[in-house]
A and B are shown apart, each in its own frame.
Chain A
Amino acid sequence: MKVRIKFSKEGPVRFIGHLDIMRYFQKAIRRAGIDIAYSTGFSPHQIMSFASPLSVGHESCSEYFDVELNSITDTEDIKNRLNRTMAEGIQILQVAVLDEKEGNAMASVAAANYLISFRDSVSLPDDWKEKLTAFYEKDKIPVIKKTKKGEREIDLKETIYQLEIREDQVYMLLDAGSGSNMKPGFVLETFCAAENISLPEYPFRVRRLETYKRTGEGKLVPLIP
């Protein structure tokens, strides 16, 4: 049966890349003695699928992956067993048995929200908040996006579902679909470029708050509702 696991990634472990996080959980599942299903063949691997990769350096309190299990005690037990063998900064938050009809984590992702702050090294104009609000309130924000296949023009506005200023941080709900994923840093870089605000390298601190899928009615709900 399929089980979805939600975890956080905070503190020093934010510097571990996505592939290494996958390897980390393969080992964690063995340590926790969870009865995971393996592929067949000469070197069997665990049947596991991650939702959306998190950039190195970003924190998150809503990372997800799915596993196929042969047998299951109960979700609370799986959560506890995993939590007993986690590294500092990674915590299992939720474990849920999935409906057979449920699509895999990666394909399900539709949106994600983030909280972003500027590092001290960024010098912002005093009225940056007003400017950012004005930027967001435009009808269209045409922008060139570099992809693997080359450059193409998109409307940034379509990928931003929500943008708010919360004290000195920026909250954004963004498209995170597999073909249309928008990175929060890209939104702010576009804004800063438009306002001639020069940015040092690594100007933002980013924290992913939740990852959403879309229901049949088109509503956004967390991957574990």
Chain B
Amino acid sequence: MRTLALSDEILMQVEKPARYIGGEINAVMKDPEAVKVRFAMCFPDVYEIGMSHLGIQILYGMLNSYEDVWCERVYSPWVDLDAVMRKEQIPLFALESQDPIRTFDFLGITIQYEMCYTNILQVLDLSGIPLLAKDRTEEDPIVIGGGPCTYNPEPICDFFDLFYIGEGETRYRELISLYEDCRDRGLSRQDFLKKAACIPGIYVPSLYEVSYHEDGTIKEMKPLEEGIPERILKEMVTEVSDTYYPDKPVVPFIKVTQDRVVLEIMRGCIRGCRFCQAGQLYRPVRERDVEFLKKYAIAMLENTGHEEISLSSLSSSDYQKLPELIDFLIEECSRRKVNISLPSLRIDAFSLDVMNKVQDVKKSSLTFAPEAGSQRLRNVINKGLTEEVILQGAKLAFEGGWTRVKLYFMLGIPFETEEDIQGIAELCNKIAAEFYDTVPKEKRNGRVQIVASTSFFIPKPFTPFQWAPQCRKEDFLNKAYLTRTAIMSQLNQKSIKYNWHEADASVMEGILARGDRKVNQVILKAYEKGCFYDAWGEYYKHDVWLETFEECGVDPDFYTVRERSEDEIFPWDFIDCGVTKAFLLREWKRAAEAVVTPNCRMQCQGCGAARFGTGVCFDKHAGVTEIQTETEENGNEGTN
């Protein structure tokens, strides 16, 4: 039986001790003597969040399928244990072996949202690994960053030895073999990093230098040495139906956020919503073969015993074989008494019919994400959803017995006016009216319940809005009050509930998202002053952050409210995510004119992603010749 790193006394005094004991079903145990490389895979947030992440399950399974590697998991200890570990100087450990992280060869950290940056430092700190990469020795693990936030790794580049840019399935074997080889030959950490920098998709920040203009914008970023690539092209799986997928995901003992089998049906999104970073980063769309999905669905259900399965993708309705897949799942799952959960489906006759079969209509609610209140502003963000479609969907749903509707909007979108905000309230009102028109009085069971939620828009790298100024906190709050007042003045206001997000955290997320190397010191200092778990409202210390920016002499407004010129070099420009800067700029201009752009299946826009030679770009109806000429032209313009 394994011995735990924490004593019984400690485990008994912390909340949910099962977070720290490992040993879950399908967790992988290996003989440490029989492997060459120990890899700790980290999600820098609490266990329940980290365990719900599909990407880690994929990489965990894949790395453990290599005979010479043992990959284990580590998450952020919750604040209660954090305090005990600091006080008693207990080093952070991996769940499986309970061995200290510091003794590992690699610590891989997936970075899914900006507000976890201080938790990265928590993990390094508790592990006893120097926070700054430059202070690490031959004894320390190689610290790797991956995940969506690494498409702008600059604000956290001081803390990482290397970043892996793009999808994890493709280059880990090569990277680990290189490490083994370097070690066998007695080469140093620095030698390994230099060689690693030449593997496609790998970025070693210490090998680059950035110079700035007087106004603080970037003049140039260049490698410090000959042979280190100037640009890093993201890594991508070209054959999504012939790649590693976990058939034995780890089954947590405690309830986690995503307590179900997750079937990733495709990567990427055809839609091209201009605010959405994932929609650009994961281009082009690649659908997994339906037979591949059926096989994995069954295997995962059998190997986990989960009572629910969920489809995962950015826009599941766009998966072309969705009806076939759903028919299959409905049949299999009803036999096995397994629930099906279908997030991110567009509301239409088909999806309502499906939801009717898989959910309890009385208990479930409909979700629409119009994102903007008026058609003009929806054109600005390129969200194809029209009012007509929403009302039609709502009508169908009300006829089908649904009485609860959730609506998601963003406030602070570029080019937004008061009328657009007014539009949010009007749309909610129209949906309520649709209910009262559709459902006769005697069939109503009380009012329709409409819940409108707004989040504040944060411009992200690699989107057409990367040039856009972000709203100030006061503007955000003003917009929220406007929305509330507008909703209150609607005829059906009693049927509408309104929620809005915290503005402070949105401001900070914006700074970190488009930050540059100068932000590293601020994050470090904020952490030293006690900031962590910033993604958790109750632990987020806005004042401390602002104070720290001031102490470091870094102006937060530089990253948020400033309007960027078309030819500005962005901190992330050295990364090539497939989509060209020229395409994004074109989209930014179309946004200003409120012109919509057709999706990849309607008409290819020559975004640049066709160079990967796969996915929707090569579907028959996308028109291959058209793409090729377009990319050639844009490829040269580049994003330098």
Residues of A with Cβ closer than 8 Å to B?
Answer: 10-13, 15-17, 20, 23-24, 26-31, 33, 38, 42-44, 56-57, 85, 87-89, 119, 121, 200-202, 205
Q: Does B624 contact A (CB under 8 A)?
A: no
Residues of B with Cβ closer than 8 Å to A?
Answer: 1-2, 4, 8-9, 11-13, 17-18, 21-25, 251, 253-255, 301-307, 336-337, 339, 360
Name A15's contact: one of B18, B251, B302, B306 (CB within 8 Å): B18
A201 x B9 contact (CB < 8 A): yes
B303 x A15 contact (CB < 8 A): no
A17 x B337 contact (CB < 8 A): no
B1 x A43 contact (CB < 8 A): no
Can you show 8 pairs from A to B with CB atoms below 8 A apart? A11-B2, A24-B253, A27-B25, A29-B305, A30-B307, A31-B303, A87-B23, A202-B12
What A residues does B306 contact at CB under 8 A?
27, 30
What A residues does B17 contact at CB under 8 A?
15, 56-57
Name A27's contact: one of B11, B304, B337, B360 (CB within 8 Å): B304
What A residues does B18 contact at CB under 8 A?
15-17, 20
Chain B, residue nearest A23 (CB):
B255
What A residues does B11 contact at CB under 8 A?
15, 57
- Shortest beta-carbon contacts, A-B, top 3: A27-B305, A30-B305, A31-B305
B27 to chain A, nearest CB (A): 8
A198 to chain B, nearest CB (A): 16
Contacts A26-B307, A44-B337 given; indicate if A12 touches B12 (C-beta within 8 A).
no
What B residues does A33 contact at CB under 8 A?
302
- What's the Cα separation between A43 and B308 when bound, in Å? 11
Name B4's contact: one of A12, A26, A200, A205 (CB within 8 Å): A12
- What's the Cα separation between A119 and B17 when bound, in Å? 19
Contacts A23-B255, A27-B306, A56-B17 given; indicate if A13 touches B336 (C-beta within 8 A).
no
A140 to chain B, nearest CB (A): 32
- What's the Cα separation between A33 and B298 when bound, in Å? 13
Contacts A27-B251, A27-B307 given; indicate if A11 touches B1 (C-beta within 8 A).
yes
Consensus secondary structure, chain A interface: loop
- What's the Cα separation between A10 and B4 when bound, in Å? 13
Contacts A29-B305, A30-B307, A31-B302 given; indicate if A57 touches B339 (C-beta within 8 A).
no
- What's the Cα separation between A11 and B336 when bound, in Å? 32
What A residues does B13 contact at CB under 8 A?
201-202
B557 to chain A, nearest CB (A): 47
A30 x B336 contact (CB < 8 A): yes
Chain A, residue nearest B12 (CB):
A202
A43 x B255 contact (CB < 8 A): no
What B residues does A87 contact at CB under 8 A?
23-25, 253
Contacts A31-B303, A38-B337, A57-B8 given; indicate if A12 touches B21 (C-beta within 8 A).
yes
What B residues does A31 contact at CB under 8 A?
25, 302-305
Chain A, residue nearest B359 (CB):
A42
Q: A26-B305, A89-B1 are in contact. List 15 more A-B contacts (CB 8 A).
A: A13-B21, A13-B23, A15-B17, A16-B253, A27-B307, A31-B305, A42-B360, A43-B339, A56-B12, A57-B12, A57-B17, A88-B2, A88-B23, A119-B9, A205-B8
Chain B, residue nearest A55 (CB):
B12
Chain B, residue nearest A200 (CB):
B9
A131 to chain B, nearest CB (A): 25
What B residues does A89 contact at CB under 8 A?
1, 23
What A residues does B303 contact at CB under 8 A?
31
What B residues does A20 contact at CB under 8 A?
18, 253-255
B11 to chain A, nearest CB (A): 5
What A residues does B304 contact at CB under 8 A?
27, 31
B305 x A28 contact (CB < 8 A): yes
- What's the Cα separation between A10 and B21 when bound, in Å? 13
- What's the Cα separation between A36 and B17 when bound, in Å? 30
Chain B, residue nearest A25 (CB):
B305
B31 to chain A, nearest CB (A): 15
A44 to chain B, nearest CB (A): 5
Chain B, residue nearest A13 (CB):
B23
- What's the Cα separation between A107 and B429 when bound, in Å? 54
A155 to chain B, nearest CB (A): 30
Chain B, residue nearest A10 (CB):
B1
What A residues does B255 contact at CB under 8 A?
20, 23
What A residues does B251 contact at CB under 8 A?
27
- What's the Cα separation between A11 and B4 when bound, in Å? 9
What B residues does A12 contact at CB under 8 A?
1-2, 4, 21-23
B307 x A121 contact (CB < 8 A): no
Chain B, residue nearest A89 (CB):
B1
- What's the Cα separation between A202 and B11 when bound, in Å? 10
Chain A, residue nearest B252 (CB):
A20
A43 x B360 contact (CB < 8 A): yes
